[in-house]
Chains A and B, each alone.
Chain A
């Protein structure tokens, strides 16, 4: 029935994965930094300490660069549903379209409207109004998270609709938005964004301390980041576990693939495979190192109930276990290292070595990208784990693709890859250059100027990152 080649589908998937994978990095850091900046400005207004103002002025430049790249890479996403997935758009547009519309109306305009004042408005509005602008931008990032994850979660656990004349018609909007996986996914993703940012900030502080550039600003960065890790990384583990149990209930095939678990035997609890190579063709996990009973214990919190097995699903309904077995373990591994970082920091804090232990500072530096790696690995796990469905159990990915030729997708894919690496690579390099320079004392006393009538009006949003 399917008139489109599997090549076209694979290329369309690759293109979407590539563009959204690149995009997701920027909003994740934006979400975390916006809240971080709100806290910094709030602390500054409350305590009047210079270090908070200096840190604000420093991180707002990185925020601006990052935000700009998020805007332009996000624009692509708003159109790619239609260009690459027109059959999905037609089928599910009545559900996901309004959710996206709400995201634009309640979040994107809010962010764009107040960003200018946040970045360049120090001299043009009062302190209270400026703080309001910062807080509004960070609220916008969270509202955006809410809507996009409602939409994404609906694709995983669709409900609140009926299918009429070949398309999904909303029946109960509250059921659509608050679908079963939404609360877990929202919490898991928002915390992931906070953690990714915390480790990015922590690594920046650690880098300066390692280089002997000890300053109050560097210490405050490391300290705030490690408090965040100590408190939030364990919470993330609990939320992740709850999300896993939710997935077990609604997408058992995904769990089976994550665990590389092929079959159950009558009366036997399920083992947990720690490492191995799931082989989709041979229908088994090669080189498996497994612990008996542990699978049942972790996933069913019991000693006898079995976890789902891949062989109980028809081959055409199985997600790719080879991929998500490993991306899941990568995510969990990063999460454990983050928890370890938090505990280690507490221990060093007690002995007053937090800012001097070279081993710990090196560890924190290496952990800089850990949050982003975990976030991307987790995202691959959940999205590849949803396959072969685009709307779980309702519409297959193969039926969602646009009637667009392989040539067209290939041309755009090649261009996206080349341009994203070149441009966003440059942007990330600029970001790291700023980090390397670090916050300067009294930086906050010379806020970035902007706007008409001033010759150095920086472009919004990114040229707030001008480092002259």
Chain B
């Protein structure tokens, strides 16, 4: 057969996880930014900007899990048991945040602070745990006889912990630029200020990851720093730098939508960089997508559905964003 189904499935999962990262990224970021905004009205507005979309955003995470399960069961079983505790903390964080951010609208003034804290805590824990899981994944997961062969706390190392912190910054930047786009007035001003700090920290974090991974993993160094690969991949860091400066300029000119869109591109490029580092492995450093693939009959069956249905999903997701478009305003009291 001329078509490499496994490759297509890998691309679908990469796409699904990227959709998750950028979409839940900004709404987790809003949760992180709650820390810095104390005013109730402003918190209401912040929450309202992500309200109509958060559960759709999280569905991409379910797709990532299910897609991995169906198309790469070896990767699903090994990665999930290797990263047991970080993933459990992530799930619990997402639960806390999901219900907290919802119960907040029902709570009395006296109890609201509890759900605010749960929303902040849940967002931070979920984000940090995702970063740790990502870092541990990049660092490599030992596999023997198709099963995880490491310890339960292998993720507790400097690099994964650093990635946890880096992801907090990345999501906070996504969140603050999202809020620039969706809000106005004092809150928007505050977000302009935050974004112009976060973008520098994000650049620093990306630089550290870009140096740390090739230094720690010779095969990643070889992937990037040999000829002709260097020329093929050079556009990634160059574009990243370009987007970074463009973000700075658009922030200075108080553009509303561009900072968010540029940050999306920055995250996308960083994500691509990680992909380049580990490709074609699905469990670095030793198991490739082809070795982890489920039987052809399994991949083919679900691929037909995915290719047919995903376009519809993208269309009605876009429609839902369109229905709830526009700025969210403060204190325009709606009474009945």
Q: Which residues of A contact B (CB under 8 A)?
A: 65, 68-69, 71-76, 78-79, 81-83, 86-87, 89-90, 92-106, 108-110, 112-117, 120-121, 124-125, 164, 166-167, 169-171, 173, 402-405, 407-408, 411-412, 415-416, 419, 423-424, 426-427, 430, 446, 449-463, 465-467
Contacts and interface: CB of A to CB of B under 8 A. Distances in A.
B324 A116 contact: yes
A460 B51 CA distance: 5
A424 B100 CA distance: 10
B103 A86 contact: no
Contacts of A121: 323
B96 A97 contact: no
A72 B61 CA distance: 11
Contacts of A169: 295, 297-298
Interface stretch (B160-168, B187-195, B214-222, B304-312): B304-312
Contacts of B309: 105-106, 109
Given A82-B69, A105-B306, A453-B326, 20 more contacts: A82-B68, A82-B79, A90-B73, A98-B298, A98-B299, A100-B69, A101-B70, A104-B67, A109-B316, A114-B316, A117-B320, A171-B297, A405-B152, A419-B96, A423-B95, A450-B52, A451-B323, A454-B329, A458-B105, A462-B103
Nearest to B70: A97
Contacts of B270: none
A402 B81 contact: yes
Interface string B306-332: 100110010011011001111111111
A255 B273 CA distance: 56
B98 interface: yes
B171 interface: no
B92 interface: yes
Contact of B73 (A93, A104, A411, A415): A93
B94 to A, nearest CB: 6
B59 interface: yes
A73 B95 contact: yes
B116 interface: no
B47 interface: yes
29 contacts: A68-B98, A72-B94, A75-B62, A78-B69, A86-B76, A86-B147, A90-B73, A92-B73, A96-B69, A97-B302, A98-B299, A101-B71, A104-B66, A105-B306, A109-B317, A113-B313, A113-B320, A121-B323, A170-B298, A173-B297, A411-B85, A446-B336, A452-B324, A453-B327, A455-B328, A459-B51, A463-B51, A465-B106, A466-B106
Contacts of A457: 48, 51-52, 328
- Which 8 A-B residue pairs are closest in the complex by CB-CB distance? A93-B73, A97-B70, A82-B80, A462-B102, A86-B77, A463-B105, A97-B69, A457-B48
A427 B69 contact: no
B87 A83 contact: yes
Contacts of A412: 84-85, 88
Contact of B302 (A102, A424, A450): A102
B136 to A, nearest CB: 14
A167 B103 contact: no
B129 to A, nearest CB: 12
B77 A90 contact: yes
Nearest to A69: B99
B98 A71 contact: yes
Contacts of A92: 73
B99 A82 contact: no
A108 B298 CA distance: 20
- Report which residue of A68, A93, A167 has the largest number of chain B beta carbons within 10 angstroms of its beta carbon: A93
A173 B295 CA distance: 13
A460 B54 CA distance: 7
B232 interface: no
Interface in B266-325: 294-295, 297-299, 301-302, 305-306, 309-310, 313, 316-317, 319-320, 323-325
Interface of B: 44-45, 47-49, 51-56, 58-59, 61-63, 65-74, 76-81, 84-85, 87-88, 91-92, 94-96, 98-106, 146-148, 152, 182, 294-295, 297-299, 301-302, 305-306, 309-310, 313, 316-317, 319-320, 323-334, 336
B63 A113 contact: no
Contacts of B320: 113-114, 116-117
Contacts of A164: 295
Contacts of B306: 101, 105
Contact of A68 (B55, B324, B333): B55
A115 B319 CA distance: 12
Contacts of B329: 453-455
The residue among B52, B71, B325, B328 with the most chain A CB atoms within 10 A of its own CB is: B52
A170 B73 contact: no
B70 A78 contact: no
A256 B326 CA distance: 62
Contacts of B78: 86, 90
Contacts of A116: 52-53, 56, 320, 323-324
B77 A72 contact: no
A78 B65 contact: yes
A426 B103 contact: yes
Interface centre among B65, B152, B325 (most CB of A within 10 A): B65
A173 B103 contact: no
B81 A450 contact: no
Contacts of B295: 94, 164, 167, 169-170
B318 to A, nearest CB: 10
Given A105-B310, A106-B305, A419-B92, A113 B73 contact: no
A148 B98 CA distance: 23
Contacts of A461: 55, 102
A173 B303 CA distance: 14
B58 A94 contact: no
Name, among A79, A166, A427, the residue most crowded by chain B CB atoms within 10 Å (CB to CB): A79
Contacts of B87: 79, 83
B99 A423 contact: yes
